[in-house]
Amino acid sequence: MTNARALAHPAREEIRVEGVLHALSDPIRLRIVRQLAGAADELACSRFELPVSKSTTTHHFRVLRESGVIQQIYRGTAKLSGLRTEDLDTLFPGLLSSVLGAADLQAKRLGED
C-alpha cells in the first residue's frame, strides 16, 4: 500500500555532470535545492513558496529529478523530495557542497536570502 504511483529516476551511473549543472543553473531550482539542503527531512513540494505557478513548480521538480539531483516519492497526496546527496557525492565528490557554498556566499553578498 505504500505506493501506487512510481516516479522515474535515473540510476546513479546515468547521472551526467552537464545535466546536474544545467539543473542547478536556474535560480528557482537552485533555491529549491538550497532549501532542501537546509532541511533535515524530505519536503513536500507544497512547502516551497515559489514565485511561479503550480504547473511551473511541477516542471522544475521534474527537471531536478530527471537530472538526478533529487529523488521523489509519493506519500498520500503529497510528494516528498530530497537531495540525492550520497549518489552525487559518490559520483562528483565535493560538487554539491561547493555549489551550495557558492550560492550561500552569493546570497550573503547580494543581501538576499
Partner DNA sequence: CTCGTAGTACGGTGAATCTCGTACAAGTGG
Partner DNA sequence: CCACTTGTACGAGATTCACCGTACTACGAG
Interacting residues with DNA (CB under 7 A): 4-5, 22, 26, 28, 44-46, 51-63, 74, 76-79
Amino acid of residue 76: G
39 grid coordinates: 532541511
| Closest by CA position to 65, among listed 56, 73, 54, 76 | 73
Greatest Cα pair distance, the chain, in angstroms, is 48
Each residue 7-46 as x (binds its own copies by CB under 8 A) or -, in order, gives ------x--xxxx-xx-xxxx--x----------------
Q: Which stretch binds its own copies (CB under 8 A): 46-54, 55-63, 73-81, 105-113?
A: 105-113
Q: What does the DSSP 8-state code read for residue 77?
A: T
Does 106 sit near its own copies (CB under 8 A)?
yes
